[in-house]
Amino acid sequence: MQELTHYIGGAHVKGTSGRFADVFNPATGEVQAKVPLANSDEMDKAVAIAVAAQPAWAAVNPQRRARVMMKFVDLLNRDMDKLAEALSREHGKTLPDAAGDVQRGLEVAEYCIGAPQMLKGEFTDGAGPGIDIYSMKQALGVTAGITPFNFPAMIPMWMFAPAIACGNAFILKPSERDPSVPLMLAELFEEAGLPKGILQVVNGDKDSVDAILDHPDIMSIGFVGSTPIAEYIYGRGCSNGKRVQCFGGAKNHMIIMPDADMDQAADALVGAGYGAAGERCMAISVAVAVGNDTADRLIEKLVPRIEALKVGPYTSGNDVDYGPVVTAAAKANIERLVQTGIDQGAKLVVDGRNFNLQGYENGFFVGPHLFDNVTTDMDIYTQEIFGPVLTTVRAETYEEALAMATDHEYGNGTAIFTRDGDAARDFASRVQVGMVGINVPIPVPLAYHTFGGWKKSAFGDLNQHGPDAFKFYTKTKTVTARWPSGIKEGGEFSIPVME
């Protein structure tokens, strides 16, 4: 059985804690590798190496750092198939979906090639007699990221690409469920010319997370995962004086208006609700149909599409719509919530509970489910299911549908499907959610915009990638300069005033 490593100081390093986690093949349920779980001593070693390496990297001018990023992008394109296969093998998602995971991270790295432009400061000439004022954006030092299992390529790159482009060192603590791709990314970045110690991968669990949160030399922390863990990391990290951004759970609503193209809406819901087995923070898990007639027409369109979904291992190639969920525990939790929905009175229109795949009986596969007549007090509405389960809620009016998306404790993403421009503009303006799609089911912004939810979906003042990333990973220093030129002698004892 393969024993994975950490990546510290430019080399693969065996774990020394004596603790390991199982890495499963989600399609078969078999353990395919062991990943070491670092202790605080191992984390201290990685941080010490980062502290020593970072000043020289920060001293490299932004254009030359951008050239390394450019080469990294080239290598990502070269190894796309290899990365996608490794990702699918540990996560379970289909090969096209895995390649999309890598691609969306690659796009952020592409954006970071523009670091020289993003890192320019401001300058005021002649702010006072012989006085100039200018600002500089400088690296924080050692930064860290704690990333989830569902996007083991994309989310790490959303964090470490801008952090490194800004001149920081970065320590990545990826999910222990699918750690191989993060290790491969660190290798590729160094092949691109990144100095050793600037990007390190330390695998681990809560012990490693706490070591990051408490280490005095780590200046900032990024996190993506569940809301309870996001709250914990944000609170403990901030109390230790760190800059922290955390992104938590979601419950994304898609509003279907009576005038919507129902075929388009149904296709969008199937892709957004069941793609990647629903293990996406931007998955649509709640369809809000405005009016009973709209709901009836929508269900009629959805049922045959959902029943036709093909579920299987990634090795089946492009003949699969989605694969298994990541662990047996994830499968059990989805099945528990499905039963809760039935017990609380929702109508199970498409029942995936008896799904069985011949030859893969021990895999973590979950059949597609569709609920109708869901109400806002049911657990399947209030909780994030994170599986191939779509719930349909019937709203009497547009205002009621708008209120559902606005009032939910999560505010990550939402969408509206309509032909009415006034309704779309009103929805986009009034809904209290961070990312909005208009006839777009998964409104994930491109790399040059920022990604982030509201309410209990996000903690911190800045979003991921885009311009916000360069703000998060730098600190601003403002310099007021005066060069003596006929200035009278004598001390100044009052606050300087720019006359």
SS3 at position 390:
strand
Fold of 2-248+457-479: Aldehyde Dehydrogenase; Chain A, domain 1 (3.40.605)
Identify the pLDDT of residue 483.
87
- For 436, left (φ over 0), alpha (ψ -120 to 50), or beta? beta
Q: Please, are residues 443 and 413 in contact by the beta-carbon 8 Å criterion?
A: yes
Residues in the chain: 499
- Looking at the DSSP bridge assignments, the partners of residue 250 are none
Mean pLDDT value across residues 230-252: 97
Identify the pLDDT of residue 1.
81
For residue 72, which phi and psi values (nearest 5 degrees)?
Answer: -60, -45
Range from 2-11, 142-151, 394-403, 479-488 carrying the lowest mean pLDDT: 479-488
Identify the pLDDT of residue 317.
78
Identify the pLDDT of residue 426.
98
Mean pLDDT value across residues 383-411: 97
Q: Which residue has the tokens 């290598």?
A: 75
Q: How confident is the model at residue 130 (pLDDT cuts 50, 70, 90)?
A: confident
Mean pLDDT value across residues 313-318: 88
What ranges do the domains of the chain cover?
Answer: 2-248+457-479, 252-438
The two three-digit tokens of residue 223, written as one number:
């996190």
What stretches of 344-443 show up as alpha helix (H) in DSSP?
379-382, 398-407, 421-430
CB neighbours of residue 42 within 10 Å: 23
Q: Please, are residues 154 and 105 in contact by the beta-carbon 8 Å criterion?
A: yes
How would DSSP label each residue in 130-193?
TEEEEEEEEE-SEEEEE--SS-TTHHHHHHHHHHHHTT-EEEEE--TTS-HHHHHHHHHHHHTT
User: Residue 176 half-sphere exposure, CB side, CA atoms within 13 Å?
Assistant: 19
Q: Please, are residues 152 and 201 in contact by the beta-carbon 8 Å criterion?
A: no
CATH 3.50.50.60 for domain 252-438, yes or no, is no
Which position among 112, 166, 246, 281 bears the catalytic label?
Answer: 281
Annotated active-site residue 281? The verdict is yes
Identify the pLDDT of residue 499.
57
Identify the pLDDT of residue 492.
63
The two three-digit tokens of residue 107, written as one number:
């796009």
For residue 174, which phi and psi values (nearest 5 degrees)?
Answer: -80, 175
How would DSSP label each residue in 217-279?
TEEEEEEES-HHHHHHHHHHHHHTT-EEEEE----EEEEE-TTS-HHHHHHHHHHHHHGGGG-
Q: Report the side by side order of strands in the sheet with 413-417.
A: 347-350, 369-372, 389-395, 284-290, 252-256, 413-417, 435-438
| Residue pLDDT, tens place only, 154-205 | 999 999 999 999 999 999 999 999 999 999 999 999 999 999 999 999 999 9
Q: Is the pLDDT of residue 495 over 80?
A: no
Q: Alpha-carbon torsion 451, 221, 69, 156, what sign?
A: negative
Identify the pLDDT of residue 494.
65
Q: Is the pLDDT of residue 498 over 80?
A: no
| Residue pLDDT, tens place only, 267-305 | 999 999 999 999 999 999 999 999 999 999 999 999 999
Q: Please, are residues 141 and 167 in contact by the beta-carbon 8 Å criterion?
A: no
Buried/exposed 390-416: b ≥16 CB within 10 Å, e otherwise = bbbbbbeebeebbbbbbebebbbbbbb
Q: Please, are residues 204 and 225 in contact by the beta-carbon 8 Å criterion?
A: no
The two three-digit tokens of residue 157, written as one number:
């790159």
- Looking at the DSSP bridge assignments, the partners of residue 7 are 12, 201
Mean pLDDT value across residues 59-69: 98
Identify the pLDDT of residue 319.
86
Separation between Cα atoms, residue 307 and residue 441, nearest integer Å: 20
Identify the pLDDT of residue 23.
97
Query: What percent of the chain shows pLDDT beyond 70?
Result: 97
Longest dimension (CA), the chain: 91
Identify the pLDDT of residue 484.
79
Identify the pLDDT of residue 490.
63
Identify the pLDDT of residue 230.
97
Identify the pLDDT of residue 190.
98
